[in-house]
Chain A
Amino acid sequence: MILDVKNVTQSFDGQQIIQKINLQVAKGEIVSLLGVSGSGKTTLFNVIAGLNQPASGDVLLAGTSILNQPGQVSYMLQKDLLMPYRTVLDNVILPLLITGTSKKLARKQALPFFEEFGLTGYAKSYPDELSGGMRQRAALLRTYLFHKPVALLDEPFSALDAITKRALHRWYLEIMGKIHLSTLLITHDIDEALVLSNRIYVLAQKPSIIVDEINIPEALHQQPEFELSDEFLQLKRRIITDLNI
Chain B
Amino acid sequence: MLKKLQSINIKLLPVYVVLLTILVWYVVTATGLIPRFFLPTPGDVVQAFKDDFTFLLQNAWVTLTEAFWGLLLGVVLGVSIAIVMERFELLYRAVYPLLVLSQTIPTYAIAPILILWFGYGMLPKILLIIVTTFFPVAVEMLTGLRSADQDLIKLMKTMGSNRLQILWYVKLPASLEHFFASLRISVSYSIIGAVIAEWVGGEAGLGVYMTRVMKVYAYDKMFAVIVLISFVSLLLILIVDGLQRLTMPWKRGSHK
Chains A and B come from one and the same complex: yes
Closest A residue to B160 by CB, please name it. Answer: A71
Most buried by A among B149, B151, B155, B169: B155
Q: How far is the CB of B28 from chain A (nearest CB, A)?
A: 52
> Which residues from A are CB-within-8-Å of B248?
85
- The distance in angstroms between the C-alpha atoms of A70 and B161, with both chains bound, is 9
Rounded to whole Å, the gap between the CB of A125 and the closest CB of chain B is 8
Q: Which of A86-114 contact B (CB under 8 A)?
A: 86, 94-95, 97-99
Partner of B169, one of A94, A128, A129: A94
Q: How far is the CA of A73 from the CA of B157 in the complex (A)?
A: 11
A98 contacts B250, C-beta separation under 8 Å = no
Per DSSP, chain A at the interface is loop
The answer to whether A99 touches B152, judged by C-beta atoms less than 8 angstroms apart, is no
Which residues on A sit within 8 Å (CB–CB) of B202? none
Given A84-B250, A98-B165, are A79 and B151 also a contact pair (CB < 8 Å)? Answer: yes
A72: B residues at CB distance < 8 A: 160
Say yes or no for B112: interface residue by CB 8 A criterion: no
Tell which of B159, B170, B254 has the most Cβ of chain A within 10 Å.
Answer: B159
Chain B: interface residue total (CB-CB under 8 A): 20
A88 to chain B, nearest CB (A): 11
Of the listed residues B152, B158, B161, B250, the one surrounded by the most CB atoms of chain A closer than 10 A to its CB is B158
Query: Does A75 sit at the interface, judged by CB under 8 A?
Result: yes
Asked if A81 and B155 make an inter-chain contact with CB atoms under 8 angstroms apart, the answer reads yes
Contact flags (1/0) for B165-209 with A, using CB distance below 8 Å?
Answer: 100011001001000000000000000000000000000000000
The verdict on B156 contacting chain A, using a C-beta distance below 8 Å, is: yes
Whether B173 and A77, one on each chain, are in contact in the complex, defined by CB atoms closer than 8 angstroms, is no
B176 contacts A85, C-beta separation under 8 Å: yes
Could you say which residues of chain B place their CB within 8 Å of the CB of A74? 158
B157 near A70 with CB under 8 A, answer yes
B14 within 8 A of A: no
Say whether B151 contacts A126, CB under 8 Å. Answer: no
Closest to B170 in A: A83
**Which of these, A70, A85, A86, A99, contacts B158 with CB under 8 Å?**
A70
Interface residue tally on A, bucketed by range: 20 to 34
What residues of chain B lie closer than 8 Å to A85, measured between beta carbons?
A: 173, 176, 248, 250
Please tell me if A55 contacts chain B, counting CB pairs below 8 Å: no
Main secondary structure, interface of B, reads helix
Contacts of A126 in B (CB 8 A): 250, 253-254
Contact A51 B158 (CB under 8 A): yes
Which listed residue, B155, B158, B250, touches A128 by the CB 8 Å rule? B250
Nearest A-chain residue to B155, judged by Cβ = A81
Across-interface contacts of B170 in A (CB, < 8 A) = 83
Query: Which B residues are in CB contact (< 8 Å) with A129?
Result: 253
Beyond A98-B165, A128-B250, whether A81 also contacts B151 by CB under 8 A is: yes
Report how far A19 CA is from B169 CA in the complex, Å: 36
A126 to B255, CA, bound (A): 12
Bound CA span A159–B152, Å: 17
User: What chain A residues lie within 8 Å of B155 (beta carbons)?
Assistant: 75, 77, 81
- A39 → chain B closest CB, angstroms: 20
B207 to chain A, nearest CB (A): 40
Q: List A contacts of B151 (CB < 8 A).
A: 77, 79, 81
- Contact call B154/A51, Cβ cutoff below 8 A: yes
Interface: A146 (CB within 8 A):
yes
15 pairs, A vs B, C-beta closer than 8 Å:
A70-B158, A71-B161, A72-B160, A75-B159, A77-B155, A81-B149, A84-B250, A85-B173, A85-B176, A94-B159, A98-B160, A99-B159, A126-B253, A128-B254, A146-B159
The 4 closest A-B pairs by CB, nearest first: A71-B160, A75-B158, A126-B250, A98-B161
B residues neighboring A (CB under 8 Å): 149, 151-152, 154-161, 165, 169-170, 173, 176, 248, 250, 253-254
- Which residues in A have some Cβ–Cβ distance to B below 8 Å? 49-51, 70-75, 77, 79, 81, 83-86, 94-95, 97-99, 125-126, 128-129, 146
